[in-house]
Structure 1
């Protein structure tokens, strides 16, 4: 489901094809006549090994039945090993979605995006726009390999053949296309089972009936709603579906093009309830690398058991921190080097930082306190980005980068309660950004030591200076 394998692959390799050997074992062979009853064994924490050997181009995985560790072509090869190969060969292996965006005039642009876990990455890749005439199609939902084409532009391919998506929270409202993709030929792991043999998870959009078999194998009465008290979930919070990408109703015709698709924009984002605006654009490639290097999400009470951590920023640079195969400071430098290697700097993708998660907890009219509705309405931001890539005069200069001019966002049909939030979520929070600079300088950048490129320190100095002048 996730990889292209079989006789055709061997024919392509021939007698001297280059490949990365991968070995996975759950470490529990079955005796003659013994059955696993559909339960994949996992060793205890001390005896799990998911090991990548970049110098030898080799992967060993032992003791884990979790898909992310068993699918060695995914994070292990397509990111951890591939980032090393990409650095050596001058391309980019990235933890990014790829989407195709078509405007009402039929013009097309391709966009990649890097978002930490639980920030709506798959939802964005399969988005159904709320503004008339716009269309989003999926090229990839998780990994992008990018290299320069003959025309000097960066082209991206999706090296995967399927989706390994998080099930909880996936519903007809949040991601209808993902639900349709998983209707058949799909493996579900750690979901709940209904009495009639279907699967169920929290946030699916409807309550289950009767009894459920939860992800631990216990039979329990279904909840009256599609939610559960924390710690009592029927499906594991990281329960997954593994579905063929070709089943996605919005899969782009070019999704398996060997040449890839030309990238016009790169998005970064995280869950930030304050400070970071709805969208801003980097002034340059290096400024964009700076934005990628500071990606993170604010720690909430729901995501930690340590009360002292609440409110702090958990940084995940480029959303690739757990998946980079070499030093992250050197990784930042590689991005800068790729920008320097461009034959024509004007052909490099424009870089943007988005934040769908600004909150105003004191406004009772905002569902969940969120100041932006997200989901399909994110197409309004994509439309602005599309026009920015064409050089449209729809932005204003600010201390943090380029932001939408007043009236530049298409708000037709947007609920009034969200229209009222636009001034706040498209403004520069000077004090918040100065605190951000302090946190980056004192807590984040020191982690990279002498590997941190001077260009990023210069970007931080420049941001701080611009804020102080504002």
Structure 2
């Protein structure tokens, strides 16, 4: 591994002068396009200089996070054809990617540790771990040397200082991303607190090091599709948790290139949380206020594209209830001095799946991205409006169109081709996205940026389960709730490269984002929930249960605010018949919605045991094994 690829060691104060001389030598042949390099801390200078020498950019651009900077980059990208203004809205833009670069690439995402079992569990021989992939330090060095030397030639290297969480907050963390993608700069501006204020808060402290390149140095010797440089054949997203470092190569897509998101806020952050005694989770955070004015905060975990954003911005159908969103995707949670669990949303924006989003499913999201937003791989109408699957009915109602008028609507699909409703293929890619400021959400909670976070009263797990699992049940205890979370399953979605309708295990909705040994992760949850901590209640929900003819039993997201009187069952507490207000709902089969079929659950528990034995093995905490045994006994006694 080259010297510039190695981890940066902490600097002693008396070494600053020597480092400054070395940095000056390494940086003096590379122009500074923007910013004052000399004003940066020695640690930041060293980081930039060593990576610049490695990747050989045309120059260095230190981002200040200003609106002027944002607008300047936007103007250049519009001029080059990378962004297209959506003229129907204020400061909204469309970006189309290379069709080979449209989703997270989990199969090329790695954790790099000296000890393999710091990253993955002791699985039986021949079993491939699904809770993360390990790469040896030696192999990692070879992979870096095969990609990063000279990879930014002909492109500027943007220095993006950013804070996950409110700047200076007690649970917030700072990162610096080096990238050769101006699209990444724009999205990081929306998704994080980014710029000069972050550098001021950083001072001489350490930070998470994020290195990203599209992997296509100039002169380019291959065709660039949609003005979107990438290198799909050599994609790699690697994390070094001990060094607090992320290396991403070859992909410009959000989940692979916006390194503050899944890479930092989940994979690296859950390692930091393990060391410091807190949790980094793939969870929304929302406040629910009842008709009496009592507000409770809930954190909820769902696999990607299973409705987290829709639930976070729920519009209740039951009068008197109110929802306010704190975060739609990631929660950092820590027990406070009063013993309660507090959570912050480390992000500053929403990066949501567009198809299926409408005023019916998520009116608040629709209102949030009406301005100052970037849309990726959606379709565009001739009138300069966005379009994707799920908006057809809305267009007919809003514009009073007939079916013929809708079918005659001129649309440019995500591939840049002319398209009409009813044509083959999709107008928008199934994983197309909107990126918008969270502050624009009409129901953003006034405390969404409170540095100390909001107190969590309940944790919810859920997934797409077409059969067998009731609408909602409550776990018997914190330990039982962790088992419930560990056994989350869901139908695969377009957010990852998986295809087809297969039901996959997604424990705690963290399968693609696990940053260390999953058995130790479960033990970490167990330990944090013990006295004197006051652990919140844990629930499981499933509003994707279907009838035999594949129709949803539960009508919709707006109906997820109902009452909570429950009865004990083998799997947990479920609502009593008559305890949920069903007024105004279409007729539904309550018995089927809440049923716990013995044969289904016997089969499910056998499969779950096999999953834990094969994927966690000897790393499974004894308390979780006991909860599993107890669950099996209760199911057999049905």
User: Is the shorter-chain TM-score for this pair beyond 0.5, marking a shared fold?
Assistant: yes
1:378 to 560, 569, 594: 560
Q: Does 1:21 align with 2:209?
A: yes
**Counterpart in 1 of 2:435?**
242
Query: In 1, are the aligned partners of 2:267 and 2:515 still within 8 Å (CA)?
Result: yes
Could you say what secondary structure the match of 2:618 adopts?
helix
Report the count of equivalent residues: 433
1:44-443 aligned at under 5 Å gives the runs: 44=232, 46-205=233-392, 206=395, 207=406, 209-218=408-417, 220-224=418-422, 229=424, 232-298=425-491, 313-340=503-530, 342-344=531-533, 347-362=534-549, 369-380=551-562, 383-384=563-564, 394-415=565-586, 417-418=587-588, 421-443=589-611
Gaps of 5+ in 2: 1-189, 396-405
Query: Which whole-Å CA distance do the structure 1 matches of 2:410 and 2:576 have between them?
Result: 53
Distance in 2 (alpha carbons) for counterparts of 1:330 and 1:199: 44
The worse-fitting range, judged by mean Cα deviation, of 349-358 and 320-329 is 320-329
SS at match of 1:233: coil
Structure 1 residue runs of 4 or more that deviate by more than 4 Å after TM superposition:
29-32, 303-306
Match of 2:194 in 1: 5
CA, structure 1 residues 47+208, in 2 after alignment: closer, same or farther (shift >3 Å)? farther
Measured in 1, the distance between the counterparts of 2:520 and 2:458 equals 23
Q: CA shift at 1:294, angstroms?
A: 0.4
CA RMSD of aligned residues (A): 2.2
Q: Which residue of structure 2 lines up, in the alignment, with residue 365 of structure 1? A: none
TM-score by length of 2: 0.65
Moved more, 188-197 or 97-106: 188-197
Q: CA deviation at 1:449?
A: 1.4
Evaluate the alpha carbon distance shift between residue 100 and residue 216 of structure 1 in structure 2; reply closer, same or farther with a 3 A threshold. same
1:448 to 601, 606, 616: 616
Whole-angstrom CA distance in 1 between matches of 2:447 and 2:358:
26
Cα distance in 1 for partners of 2:532, 2:377 equals: 48
TM norm structure 1:
0.88
Match for residue 227 of structure 2? 39
Task: Provide the C-alpha distance between the structure 2 equivalents of 1:5 and 1:443, rounded to a whole number of angstroms.
Answer: 41
**Partners in 2 of 1:37 and 1:313 — Cα distance?**
34
8 A Cα contact 1:321 1:328, kept in partner: no
Q: CA deviation at 1:423?
A: 2.0
Contact 1:190 1:240 in 2 (8 A): yes
**Who is 1:388 aligned against?**
none
Note the alpha carbon deviations across 1:382-423, whole angstroms, 9 max, x for none.
Answer: x42xxxxxxxxx2111111111122211212222x22xx122
Q: How far is the alpha carbon of 1:85 from its aligned partner?
A: 0.6
Do the aligned residues in 2 keep the contact of 1:26 with 1:63 (CA within 8 Å)? yes
Cα 1:208–1:266, aligned 2, differ >3 Å: closer, same or farther?
Answer: farther
Aligned partners of 2:612 and 2:620 also within 8 Å: no
Give the Cα separation in 2 of the matches to 1:304 and 1:29.
26
Q: Report the alpha carbon displacement of residue 291 of structure 1 after superposing the two structures with TM.
A: 0.3
Task: Provide the C-alpha distance between the structure 2 equivalents of 1:38 and 1:233, rounded to a whole number of angstroms.
Answer: 18
* 1:194–1:208 Cα contact (<8 Å) kept: no
Offset at 1:120?
Answer: 1.1
Q: Confirm or deny that 1:467 pairs with 2:638.
A: no
Helix, strand or coil for the counterpart of 1:428?
A: coil
Q: CA deviation at 1:324?
A: 1.1
Deviating more after overlay: 253-262 vs 329-338: 329-338
Larger Cα-atom Rg: 2
Q: Give how far 1:444 is off.
A: 4.2
The separation in 1 between residues aligned to 2:443 and 2:451, in whole angstroms, is 19
Distance 1:54 1:321 in 2: 17
1:119 deviates by 1.5
Query: Secondary structure of 2:343's match?
Result: strand
- Judged with a 3 Å threshold, the aligned counterparts in structure 2 of structure 1 residues 99 and 305 are, in CA distance, closer, same or farther, namely closer
Q: Residue by residue, what CA displacement relative to the aligned partner does 1:418-462 show, whole Å, maximum 9, x if unpaired?
A: 2xx122212322221111101011234421111111222211110
1:102-149 Cα deviation digits (max 9, x unpaired): 000100100000001232111000000000000011000000000011
Does the C-alpha gap of structure 1 residues 79 and 305 become closer, same or farther in structure 2, counting only changes over 3 Å?
closer
1:374 deviation in Å? 2.1
Helix, strand or coil at the partner of 2:483? helix
Contact in 2 for aligned 1:200/1:208 (Cα 8 Å)? no
